[in-house]
Amino acid sequence: MNWEIGLTLLVVLGSIIAMIRSRIGPDLILIGALAFLMLADVVDVDRALKGFANQGLATVAILFVVAEGLNQTGAINRFVQSLLGHPKTALVGQLRLVFPAAFMSAFINNTPVVAMLLPVVNDWSKKCGFSISRFLLPLSFATILGGMCTIFGTSTTLILNGWFVQAGYESIGLFEIAWIGFPLAIIGLIYLLLTSSWLLPERVSAETQFDDPREYTIEMIVENGSPLIGKSIGDAGLRSLPGLYLIEISRDDELIAAVSPDRKIQVQDRLIFVGVVESIKDLQKMAGLKPATNQVFKLDSPRSQRCLVEAVVSNTCPAVQQTIRDVHFRTQYNAVVIAVSRNGHRIRGKIGDIVLQPGDTLLLEAHPSFADVHRNSRDFFLVSRVEDSTPLRHEQAWMAQIILGIMIITATVLNFGMLKASLFAAMLMILTRCTRPSEARTCIDWSILVTIGAGIGLGEAMEQSGAAKLVAESVINSAGSSPTAVLAVVYGITMLMTNLITAKAA
């Protein structure tokens, strides 16, 4: 064994230990290890960077953009919510969750699938009165199991397929691994359902232990063509919103108090809710509802480019002791007040007639730059953006669904290949405004890509130094001549490593 083999094995072993014991991310550890081997001249620069030119790595990056388009339009949300329904028990809820999640992760990379479904499942579990802790691990494992059915499903299979192509073999078919993956997925999902009630604790989240002191009254109007029209309050899911209560409906000249769950929703109904800001931001994302104040539609930017902002009025603000209407808030700040909280309590009445006082907390709809522009303003004590409060582009949901279908068809029937099909879908998502270019840039998880690219680079270093050959010979010698035994040893080592470090790094 020469010094290159010894150094490479030492660096790889050190990287594994660092990922187990250190809080530093695997991306930094692996890229640092690769850089060290490059500087030690163990691996050539071209071979070290070969992983970043891997076809599978590029496909993973592009699929983040496709998933962002589906997320920003809510294309998946309505479909998932209709499947989840209102189960009576947590077990039935898990049954309704794991199979759709597994199906989705077969065609969309499992990481963005979990990111898309987490807020949906969180809200749904609150509405149904279940602990979210009973659904998080089933969601995670369901996407992993579903990802085994196609090449699209997980980034690891995409990377291995990229290696396969680089080695000169024909690309693996989209459903080629389903012969093994599908039966295993079914067995795994059944195991999840049978054991979850014993293995999963029912924990209370920190959010539910502490009440939000700020309570707002917000008025939403039912738009023309809204999917809520004709549904009852209960069927529309407006009766059981977590942290939010529908107190009355304003219909023409009639005020309907103590709203019954059986009350039918009509077009142009004004729904008046009381609740905390975390629940109001979810209300903002519901298809067919919009803030009732006309000032919202006079802002410069479209709703899909705005967010919710909380601002506390200072005693030097020129709006103090004036009504919101008289101070021309929209003209002066390019933001619209949609709710006001005073000393933690809601203020009833029309927004425009409220006389502002120092210390009032305003819930605004504004461009995201509002928080940065007015953070040090003397008009407000505190300005903070409500995270993840941008309204969804529901009008584009059908387009995003069509694009997803096109991606699947071009990858399978037309045999475009995964990279070309996903690239075509990502381009369509941007061109049709399902996602904006700025969102496409920020949605990509670069730490995952660096981890994958650096991990492949370390593999190249092991191959060039001869360490890979030494390890392979040791595995074969320990397993004997049986191919099944060799495969079992490889499976065992891989499974052990993925319990200690991330699968991508392993």
Asked whether the predicted pLDDT for residue 500 surpasses 70, the reply is no
Asked whether the predicted pLDDT for residue 445 surpasses 60, the reply is yes
CB-based contact 333:399 (threshold 8 Å) = no
pLDDT tens for each residue of 39-49: 988 889 888 88
- 407-415 long-range contacts, Cβ below 8 Å, gap at least 24? 407/66, 407/107, 408/107, 411/152, 411/174, 412/174, 412/175
- pTM for the model stands at 0.75
Asked whether the predicted pLDDT for residue 257 surpasses 60, the reply is yes
The residues of the chain that CATH labels 3.30.70.1450 are: 215-275, 292-391
Structure tokens at 26: 């695997």
What whole-number percentage of the chain has pLDDT above 90?
10
What whole-number percentage of the chain has pLDDT above 70?
93
pLDDT band at 67 (very low <50, low <70, confident <90, very high): confident
- pLDDT, mean of residues 120-146: 85
pLDDT tens for each residue of 332-353: 888 888 888 888 777 777 778 8
Question: What is the pLDDT at residue 175?
Answer: 83
* Domain spanning 292-391: CATH superfamily: Regulator of K+ conductance, C-terminal domain (3.30.70.1450)
**Top mean-pLDDT range of 157-161, 327-331, 424-428:** 424-428
Asked whether the predicted pLDDT for residue 59 surpasses 90, the reply is no
End-to-end CA distance of the chain: 24
pLDDT tens for each residue of 263-310: 899 988 888 888 888 778 878 888 888 887 665 545 556 777 788 898
Question: What is the pLDDT at residue 301?
Answer: 65
pLDDT band at 430 (very low <50, low <70, confident <90, very high): very high
Q: Between 236 and 29, name the one with better pLDDT.
A: 29
- In CATH, the architecture of 215-275 is 2-Layer Sandwich (3.30)
Angstrom distances, CA of residue 328 to CA of 5, 14, 66, 69, 296:
73, 63, 41, 36, 13
Sheet holding 307-313, edge to edge: 345-346, 335-342, 361-366, 307-313, 380-385
pLDDT tens for each residue of 452-485: 888 888 888 888 888 878 877 787 777 776 778 8
Angstrom distances, CA of residue 377 to CA of 271, 359, 383:
34, 15, 9
Q: Between 349 and 246, name the one with better pLDDT.
A: 246
Asked whether the predicted pLDDT for residue 506 surpasses 60, the reply is no
Angstrom distances, CA of residue 49 to CA of 13, 32, 160, 505:
20, 13, 16, 16
Q: What are phi and psi of 363, to 5 degrees?
A: -100, 115
Structure tokens at 173: 């078919």
Worst-scoring range by mean pLDDT, 178-187, 196-205, 278-287, 455-464? 196-205
pLDDT band at 174 (very low <50, low <70, confident <90, very high): confident
pLDDT band at 1 (very low <50, low <70, confident <90, very high): low
